[in-house]
Amino acid sequence: MTKKNLSERLAAGPVIGDGSMALTLEKRGYCTAGPWTPEAVVMYPEAVRQLLREYVRAGADVIQTPCFYSSDKKLKRGKVTYTAAEINDAACKIAKEVASEGDDVLICGGISPVESFVDGKGRDVVRKEFENQIEVFIKHDVDFLLAEYFGYIEELEICMDVVKKAGKMAACSMRIGPRGDLSGVSVEDCAVRMAKTGALMIGTNCQFDTNAQLKTLRRIKDALAKENLSPYLMCQPPGYLCPEVECTLTGQRHLPEAPILLETRILTRFEAHQFARSAYELGVRYIGGCCSTEPHHIRAFAQELAPEKKKSPPAEDMCPAFGALLVDSDIPVIRKRNTKEYWYSVKPGSGRPYNSPLVNVQAD
């Protein structure tokens, strides 16, 4: 059976992406906090393989090549130095292997921002770095390309020009919140410029939480409608709540807990359900996750949108939505907690007695 491509799937209904790699691998002991580079694909491939398998079992229709921040300058910061080509090649092989084990899973080649842009090295140097990232994806014939986590629309436009010449179906996303990109370009202008790159799908990812991203996506949608532009919308939020940072340009990095003390802010699976529904009703058709979005979050996205997808995630056999199998518990009070209505009525505690629910954050 021939796999439906990304365009066909988006036209048919929602598509579920995978989740966090770097932050989740760091928690498991396979990635260095700070550089966040993906040497694990060479040094600890089974750990990477297992995490991707968990996303597929959770219901991901797409897995990204696990090579975020794979650029030569970034990789030189690590204890063991590999080239971007070596990392991307290993990442493609792992992704292809895991995708082959799943049910009709697509592979997305993930393209990251490069330091040569912010260092002012010039367009030719920047283009060459993007060409180096993409070359391996073309060799491995991934299903589509995603330029993600871009903070500057200008850099993203350079990247997408290179992507366009590769002849692959493509998407792009930015780590923007309500204040726009890092150079002050508004959300609306970023939206229009992203769409004019010719990307099939555009949107937001990381840095700002689910609530902030919904606000930003609503503005993106309105800006596109005014210009009669109609790419599909995508969203890959982080897996924690950080309302304090909506006023900033760079989002969660302002939190005193960032990046390795964010556990008390983790999104619950039921908040993930509610986000997936809100995003879908807004018009978002590709929903995945970024930093700290774990397999159970992706499962919640897939379970929530199962009616629209006409397909439940593989993990439904063991973990049906809203704890339906709690009815089999031998503890009477737990047996009663097996409904959506119960879990949506719960207001979870922070788990940290006497701690402030919010922290002071200064804007950029």
**Alpha helix locations (H) across 252-337?**
269-282, 295-304, 306-309, 332-335
* β-strand pairing of 170-174 with 201-205: parallel
Residue whose structure tokens are 């490069």: 114
Establish whether 159 is an annotated binding residue: no
Rg of the Cα trace of the chain?
20
Q: Is 319 annotated as a binding residue?
A: no
What 3-state DSSP class applies to 132? helix
Q: How does 204-238 read in b/e, with b if 16+ C-beta sit within 10 Å?
A: bbbbbbbbbbbebbebbeebbeeeeeebbbbbbbb
Cα separation of the two ends of the chain: 52
Contacts of 317 (CB under 8 A, 6+ apart): none
Name the CA dihedral angle for 72, 237, 277, 143, rounded to a multiple of 10 degrees.
0
Nearest to 291 by CA among 334, 252, 255: 252
DSSP letter for each residue of 84-123: HHHHHHHHHHHHHHHHHHSSS-EEEEEE---HHHHTT--H
Residue 291 marked ligand-binding: yes
Query: Residues 6 or more apart from 100 whose CB is under 8 A from it?
Result: none
Q: Residues annotated in the binding site for Zn(2+), as ranges?
A: 206, 290-291
Q: Residues annotated in the binding site, as ranges?
A: 206, 290-291
